[in-house]
Amino acid sequence: MITHRSYAVEPWTVRETELSLDVLAQSESVFALSNGHVGWRGNLDEGEPHGLPGSYLNGVYEVHPLPYAEAGYGYPESGQTIINITNGKVLRLLVDDEPFDLRYGRLISHERVLDLRRGVMERTCEWCSPAGTRIRVRATRMVSLTQRSIAAVAYEVEPVDCRARVVVQSELVANEQLPESDGDPRTASALRSPLEPEQDFASGHRLRLVHRTRHSGLRVAVAADHVVTGPEHTTTDSESHPDLARLTIASVLEPGRKLRVEKLVAHGWSGARSLPAMSDQVDAALAAAAHSGWTGLADEQRAYLDDFWARSDVEVDGEEEIQQAVRFGLFHVLQAGARAEERAIPAKGLTGSGYDGHAFWDTEMFVLPVLTYTSPDAVAEALRWRQNTLPAARERAAQLGLRGAAFPWRTIEGQEGSGYWPAGTAAFHVNAAIARAVVRHVAATGDEDFEVDTGLELLVETARLWRSLGHHDHRGTFHIDGVTGPDEYSALADDNTYTNLMARGNLLAAADLVERHPKEAERLGADDEESASWRDAAEAMNIPYNGELRVHEQSAGFTRYQRWDFAGTRADQYPLMLHFPYFDLYRKQVIKQADLVLAMYTCGAEFDEEHTARNFAYYEPLTVRDSSLSACVQAVIAAQTSHLRLAYAYTVEAALMDLEDLEHNTRDGLHIASLAGTWMALVAGFGGTRRAGETLRFSPRLPEKFSRLAFILQFRGRRLRVEITQRSATYSLVDGEPLTIRHHGAPVTLRPDAPEVRPVPPPVHRPAPEQPPHRKPHVH
């Protein structure tokens, strides 16, 4: 996208300087606005042309059957798909009876700007109708971060050089026609007209539609109110139908005179509340928004984001594209989780329908680390959602013959939404990612109430899963067999190192909590005997190692597999999963995404410097990065092992995943985990940031492309600022009590108003590792 002629590279905005229909669908994802509860894709105000219409409410889905050629016990029977709810964005315009459609007439200028500091998307354009009438349109759109159910549009139209008769049709539209699926398994299942009408209303400037999903039984209410400012004799008229409510505004404008429409849209849904209650809910939300008014909403939005950037900004000197990309990423990560409030954070956020709107382990392993150190309240809410889904996870574990809770590989509401697929349904490591997120959040915030109320139950139930999933052999060694680790090109493997190490940490953390909170643990049926069995399993955990090669194995026996024929694989045959059978992938040494390498990041204390370097060199030539989750992890370990140029290249790839549409599916929504991974690559990679118990350690080194890197972290009630140059690192305690950190292993005590400067040692020289043919990292 940003290499397209229409896009500019700027530090605080994403600017599109002309309308480009060839990247329209991608731009709709890039310009999407959300608050974690409501999501609006960046569709044009008039609704057409469009790539993928999209208005979403977090948690609103429809169910559909999951067909199998041959059924089997334990196969999930139904899937869940996010649906396009009632669209409140639409403002159609007619000029002297001709529709304002950018495919016709003459488009003189067109610009859209995503403002990352103000949290709005602005659009300005000039258009000449086929009959020769020239008009100027300005629109500003926001999804409120302070008023959870509210989105809003301010829309202005004025004629440029002659009188014009203009009509604006502000609409609520349900059951919009969606494009056909292209067959890519990463796209959403197409559901036709999923909303059944229950109520339509129009009176004055107020519109409302209420629908219910046909099968999941969720009630969705959307309402709109308007403030219309225009010349005398401007008229309005409203009407409603089952799938359409419309306010029509008509006026005659002289050159330079404007018609302005401020549209407030309220959204609500429930699986339990009645039709009158839902109508009242959205009407009340509109009343609150009208009290603030457009200006008040905009002021609240700016204040919210001023506070966010003050505690989370990352500054990069030397690479303008990376500076823009990391702020773009932080902004969308915030939008994905800010007001989710005990709902999931989907892999695409609320920017598109890709992956059916499901949440995966991406949330806990990639997104929540960023939010932990920037917006920790959002982390607590996301983990409370996992806690709320424990009944379904316990039921799934019991179905699989296991104890505890087996969280789903992909879901919206908590039930497993993945059809039987070894690389998905055997990926039990999602449970350890949830446990790790709990431990990280408590360590970073010191929130003991959360630890007791939410963390304890999650850790106990996931520990029970591991203890029942694994077994001790005749020598007492503990094994976890038949699982799939992060690498989805290796399925049903024994003793996946990443899974075993993460499970070990889960078991020990759960045992520690049971010991710290015995009364609360007793209510969960956990006692000293059970926690002792967890410790026994953790201490006896098998970690596969090839002594001849002196590398850790991704899983038991992995290094003896035949290597994939990389030389015989063409560039156009990636991603491999779309061109080769999984059977062939599963039995070869080829890695979809960082697996053992991810283990070295998440469980770094288990690997010394020599093994980290040797492991990275071994697995790098096998890793094809057919997943957007890989580049950021490889960037972190490349930086740790002093391959700074390679780390920089992987950082670029993670950062530009969507801005350059590297995986050719940005049209379906943004890759929120890769956006979060940009922060990870910079802060954990070049910043060398790691959590060490209740403190932090840093081992910073910059690539030659960067002259300076600075970032801010929230940690245990403190705000730290780290600034790194090629030669030194400066640590500042912006506010909070003194804290002792470590810089390249040496302790440094930070006190308010007393920055500490330390030299950055030179990197260790090592031969650069190779990548598979055609899979060198992207560098613009």
Cα-Cα-Cα-Cα torsion 358, 364, 367, 369, nearest 10 degrees, comes to 170
Residue 18 is a catalytic residue: no
Beta bridge partners of 173: 87, 244
Please enumerate in sequence order all residues whose Cβ is within 8 A of that of 724, keeping only pairs 6 or more positions apart, or say none. Answer: 686, 687, 700, 702, 708, 709, 710, 730, 760
Inter-axis angle of helices 320-337 and 275-312, nearest 10:
150
Give the tokens for residue 335: 């939008």
DSSP secondary structure code for residue 769 in this structure = P
Beta bridge partners of 52: none
Residue 478 φ/ψ region, left for φ over 0, alpha for ψ in the -120 to 50 degree band, beta for the rest: beta
Cβ atoms of residues 642 and 766 within 8 Å: yes
Residue with tokens 């007791």: 452
Residue with tokens 């695409």: 348
Cβ atoms of residues 109 and 119 within 8 Å: no
Which of 176, 451, 488, 660 is catalytic? The answer is 488
Preceding amide of 747 cis, omega within 30: no
Alpha carbons 578 and 128: distance in angstroms, whole number: 45
3-class DSSP assignment, residue 742: strand
Task: Measure Cα distances from 170 to 57, 94, 262 in Å.
Answer: 20, 12, 10
Helical segments of 389-496, H only: 390-399, 422-425, 429-445, 448-450, 456-469
Tell me how far apart the 2 most distant CA atoms of the chain are, in Å: 90
Type of residue at 488 = E
Report DSSP letters for 259-289, one per residue: EEEEEEEEEEEESSS-HHHHHHHHHHHHHHH
Please enumerate in sequence order all residues whose Cβ is within 8 A of that of 661, keeping only pairs 6 or more positions apart, or say none. Answer: 1, 23, 26, 667
3-class DSSP assignment, residue 409: coil
Cβ atoms of residues 554 and 598 within 8 Å: no
Alpha carbons 151 and 153: distance in angstroms, whole number: 7
Question: Which 3-state string (H, E, C) describes 300-324?
Answer: HHHHHHHHHHHHHCEEEECCHHHHH
Cβ atoms of residues 542 and 477 within 8 Å: yes
- Considering only CA atoms, which of 456, 550, 556 is closest in space to residue 496? 556
- Considering only CA atoms, which of 241, 199, 239, 192 is closest in space to residue 219? 199
E strand or H helix at 98? strand 98-99
Alpha carbons 328 and 348: distance in angstroms, whole number: 14
Alpha carbons 41 and 208: distance in angstroms, whole number: 21
Inter-axis angle of helices 376-388 and 390-399, nearest 10:
50
Beta bridge partners of 749: 740
CA neighbours closer than 13 Å in the CB half-sphere of residue 420: 12
Please enumerate in sequence order all residues whose Cβ is within 8 A of that of 539, keeping only pairs 6 or more positions apart, or say none. Answer: none
**Catalytic center residues:** 488
